[in-house]
Structure 1
């Protein structure tokens, strides 16, 4: 009996069919992915989604810092439009005009350290806390006597801000340093890496943002009140790092005859009653422990409806209205901390 013989040519149609099916699937996936990405970019993106705009800002204007303690920093000479607002980064890596290495004779220089609130997320250059403070300080003067430098960077915490200052701040020749504090500044320093594939996809950003929101609302991930409260546990690493950073900055300022002021910005979702007063008190105690004047900026806005202070209905960063109120309080605090004055120890300014 002769064994059955299969002609190799008989397998060719099957192989060709399998390859055609696989090619069809791959092509369909690629086409579907392209359609999803195109929809995210040109249909869903209206230029006012917080997560997407913050991602664009990080992608376009930031780079990984050579100092791991800083994490990321602005890329000098870059620009873009975010939340409908133009943003330009100068040659010094600041969202501000260009500054001389030292202030002109007779001019007091204020360096504002901070995060996206100080940076002025969602507002124009002139409406950032730094520029409104500069305008308020110089109002009525025959010639400008104050320079206020905006060194705020989005997604910084206090430890990162202080690390940035020790790399760059002394060269700016400040007379006064204002450490602008927001409730999330006790977060641990993130591990920032070079961009991966996700950071080139609008659809991926929207997808992971949606997953995070659903997780928070329906599956027990800490809500914002509980999340912020947990940052200030005694054993919380970010809060310990923030306190250590403030102590280091306070010592440097005393040794170099530079005035230091800590300004606390309120979380703008609820102002009266304010759910985070214990956090404000903890920051005030940190300032007092370092003999640093402290100003609580909530009284300037607590009589207003919170939503009137936001840059958009879904983004509670301070708008121009809020920043004007903050600048008025900061003006008083800065004048009381100016060179030539004698601020009382543990001064708490309201």
Structure 2
């Protein structure tokens, strides 16, 4: 009997000691950790809409989803818009897929203003807190039904990570979703009032380090590959926008730097058409332009940053289709040069004002225009020969041009031969190619123009 009493006493003392320790920890956290500014029932804002119903609901596969066919999201899982469901001839249906950056539409709205809506519809399927794996699954289940012509996936720097989100289930308990990790069932009162309970959830779903980025690279790659293959099978174009941290690079955390490195590696490995948005953000920060929606928020751009990134994306062919485009015109004058007397051919390029500031190459071939040469899947109407490789490897060396379209989307190049040149007689062909340098991608090409070399 004494042994039983001693055992009970020890258990009681241990439990009491644990209780005292937890209470002390709770007091310490309350002194150190400020009270959350957001509704504790939802890690990213209120989970209740204006109609009193939940804006987001738990989901077994995705963790949570926005309320489908509610006041914000329609039956297709896209934010409500004025476009008809039936597709219209001559109008490209562009679907923007992503997380809260896409949902808050800073970049998308700027695109609609800069590019216009005469030829494009801008559908948005952005869900706050989602990572790439969730975004692809959400597309497969809901947004794919709008049958887009072009899917633009915004890959956020934090898309390898998981965002813990707390939602009330039907019984009123809080379910904390932490990506692909186990969920935690907590009472609403405990989660709302206990800093220790919050700390346990945050610790168990800790995010943002190099190890987590690397551990989730595989599942993220699989999701990207699946999206690529599904869209390719349907003839739908895919473009990935790589979104940066809104901080100078020297202030990025190791996990943020590693996230960018792995993302670029995956895009290259999978052959994805991508546009890196780091350059306009770095330039803006260097120029002293505020790019953040909130002073301490390095994840969400303000309107000015959205405009600058949209402008950059358009200049790099976001809505150009990424294929041969007859709007890139090239005019050659004259079409013939006598090597005896010498002369020069002026190539005038017009790619359209929406491509102002884009980089371009002028490539040539001494062997004709067929068969064409593929540059990253873009067919260039020039035969790959020694002259082609020379103009590709040494741009501006044999043909004079600065390589950047002016504010009207125009450029000029000069092919010159001095009098008495000993070049081989025959016909050269030249074409203009629009491209981005990093990650390397070729977006549009002109027709080929001829230059006949005579005696």
Residue 264 of structure 1, CA deviation: 0.9
Counterparts of 2:96 and 2:277, CA distance in 1: 15
Which residue of the other structure, out of 164, 178, 181, is the alignment partner of 2:138?
164
Residues 107, 310 of structure 2: 8 Å contact kept: yes
Matched, 1:63 2:38: no
1:222-244 deviation digits (Å, cap 9, x = unpaired)? 9x9x83423222xx1x3321110
Matched, 1:344 2:376: yes
Partner of 1:173: 147
Q: Relative to structure 1, is the Cα distance of residues 300 and 255 closer, same or farther in structure 2, using a 3 angstrom cutoff?
A: same
Residue 108 of structure 2 aligns to a residue whose secondary structure is helix
* Structure ranking higher in strand proportion: 2
Matched, 1:258 2:236: yes
Partner of 2:331: none
Counterparts of 1:75 and 1:61, CA distance in 2: 5
Residues 293, 349 of structure 1: 8 Å contact kept: no
Partner of 1:105: 89
RMSD: 3.9
Residues 78, 124 of structure 2: 8 Å contact kept: yes
Which residue of the other structure, out of 288, 300, 310, is the alignment partner of 2:292?
310
Counterparts of 2:259 and 2:69, CA distance in 1: 37
Partner of 2:263: 283
1:239-295 deviation digits (Å, cap 9, x = unpaired)? 321110001111112211111111111112444565534422211111111111111
Which residue of the other structure, out of 123, 128, 136, is the alignment partner of 1:154?
128
1:309-336 deviation digits (Å, cap 9, x = unpaired)? 2222343321112211221123233134
Of structures 1 and 2, the larger Rg is shown by 2
Partner of 2:106: 128
Query: Paired residues, what number?
Result: 277
Partner of 1:183: 157
* Structure ranking higher in helix proportion: 1
Q: TM-score normalised to the size of structure 2?
A: 0.52
Matched, 1:243 2:221: yes
Q: TM-score normalised to the size of structure 1?
A: 0.65
Residue 112 of structure 1, CA deviation: 0.9
Counterparts of 1:110 and 1:343, CA distance in 2: 25
Residues 296, 349 of structure 1: 8 Å contact kept: no
Q: Relative to structure 1, is the Cα distance of residues 153 and 208 closer, same or farther in structure 2, using a 3 angstrom cutoff?
A: farther
1:18-67 deviation digits (Å, cap 9, x = unpaired)? xxxxxxxxxxxxxxxxxxxxxxxxxx99xx748767241478311234xx
Residue 159 of structure 1 aligns to a residue whose secondary structure is helix
Residues 154, 241 of structure 2: 8 Å contact kept: yes
Partner of 1:54: 44
Q: 5+ residue gaps in structure 1?
A: 1-43, 80-87, 121-126
Partner of 1:3: none
Counterparts of 2:249 and 2:48, CA distance in 1: 30
1:152-206 deviation digits (Å, cap 9, x = unpaired)? 0011111111111111233211111111111221125869772644589998666
Residue 301 of structure 1 aligns to a residue whose secondary structure is helix
Residues 175, 259 of structure 1: 8 Å contact kept: yes
Residue 210 of structure 1, CA deviation: 9.2
Give the number of the structure with larger relative contact order, counting CA–CA contacts within 8 Å between residues 6 or more apart.
1
